[in-house]
Amino acid sequence: MAVPTIVVHGGAGRVAAANQETAVAGVREAARRGHEALRRGGCEAAAIAAVRWLEDAETFNAGRGACMTEDGRFEVDAGIMRSRDLRSGAVAAVRDLADPILVAQAVMEHGRHCLLVGEGAEAFARARGVGRFGRDGLWTAKAQARYDEATAGRSGAVGQADTVGAVAIDADGHLCAAGSTGGVLLKAHGRVGDSPLLGAGLYAHPALGAACATGVGEAIMTHVASYAALLAATRGLAPDEAAAEVCARVATFEVGAERATCGIIMLTPRGEVGIAHASPHMSWAVARGEGEPDLRAALRRDPG
């Protein structure tokens, strides 16, 4: 038995001052909705409810509001894993898909494969009538402005926050991790980040817990960040320390002249929460409790 808990993140990186309030309100609302679903439908329903809401919220780099590739397309990644039977599903580099977490869930339910990419993922989704396709469902003026600024060389493409993810534990002690992203701004056509990759972007296991990572995908893959954080907690580190240790390791990876950003949210099998980031900001929220949840949300793990 565990205290039903959901932890949500809205991306590790730098959040512009004008977007900070919206980002915190967004993850708070996602956690509230996730917790409601947690009580009714368990950990998987909770993680999906939170991530789906964030995909539709245009502040975040997932679904509506996703960032663009270097040639101005939308190509999204998403993944989900649950501890109960170690089943998982993911999609990557799928064009113009506004709700990729639902297609990832369909891949998991179908059960034959864990990860489908590009046109194959789209064909799978269309055959099952799941997923909303169309550029209009993702395009926002903000994403266009970011793309225009970055291609004109007026702003950097690295370290922009806003990817989304959630980990949840239900009253039965089952765990689920899920994440969704447009990836990194100006990525190459066909580039896949960590978010759909087991061990790197997410992981859930009955004896280890559940974790979800955000930040520079190449650095997170290199350090298998989600799995590494869960393992670190089994060595006796408090969950916050385990997450922080791995974030610090990931941040030693350099992208151009900058250090990689990384954020990790996690839950142990007993429902203890771990949150850490090596980045200026990471919006996060926790909703925890048997009935009405205790709800906390902020833009940084540490004050200051």
- Residues with catalytic roles: 163
Q: Does 199 bind ligand ASP (CB under 6 A)?
A: no
Binding mask 126-165 for ligand ASP (x = CB under 6 A): -------------------------------------x--
Task: Considering only the stretches 128-136, 150-158, 213-221, 238-246, report the one whose residues sit in contact with ligand ASP under the rule CB under 6 A.
Answer: 213-221
Among 69, 88, 181, 268, binds ligand ASP (CB under 6 A): 181
> Which span sits near ligand ASP by CB under 6 A: 81-89, 138-146, 179-187, 264-272?
179-187
β-pairing, 281-288 with 273-278? Answer: unpaired
Verify binding: residue 69, ligand ASP, rule CB under 6 A: no
Residue from 89, 217, 269, 271 in contact with ligand ASP (CB under 6 A): 217
Residues that bind ligand ASP (rule: CB under 6 A) add up to a total of 14
Shortest reach from residue 215's CB to ligand ASP, in Å: 5
Q: Counting contacts by CB under 6 A, is residue 184 touching ligand ASP?
A: yes
**Does the protein bind ligand ASP through residue 65 (CB under 6 A)?**
no
Nearest to 100 by CA among 182, 176, 160, 203: 182
Q: How would you class 213 by CB atoms within 10 Å of its CB: exposed for 0-12, middle for 13-18, buried for 19 or more?
A: buried
Smallest gap from Cβ 163 to ligand ASP, in A, equals 3
Q: Which stretch binds ligand ASP (CB under 6 A): 90-98, 107-115, 177-185, 227-235?
A: 177-185
The answer to the question of residue 19 lying near ligand ASP (CB under 6 A) is: no
Nearer to ligand ASP, 181 or 268 (CB): 181
For ligand ASP, the closer CB: 137 or 182: 182
CA dist., res. 134 & res. 124, Å (int):
16
Q: Is 262 near ligand ASP (CB under 6 A)?
A: no
Rounded Cα distance, 196 and 113, in Å: 13
Question: Would you call 130 exposed, middle or buried from its count of C-beta atoms within 10 A (0-12, 13-18, 19+)?
Answer: middle
Residue from 10, 34, 193, 293 binding ligand ASP (CB under 6 A): 193
200: nearest Cα among 181, 215, 222, 231: 222
Alpha-carbon gap, residue 143 to 156, rounded angstroms: 14
Contacts 24+ apart (CB under 8 A), 197-201: 197/79, 197/90, 197/115, 197/221, 198/79, 198/81, 198/88, 198/90, 198/114, 198/227, 199/224, 199/226, 199/227, 200/224, 200/225, 200/226, 200/227, 201/79, 201/165, 201/225, 201/226
- Tell me if 215 contacts ligand ASP by CB under 6 A: yes
Count of residues in the chain = 304
Residue numbers of the site for ligand ASP (CB under 6 A)? 11, 13, 163, 181, 183-184, 193-195, 214-217, 220
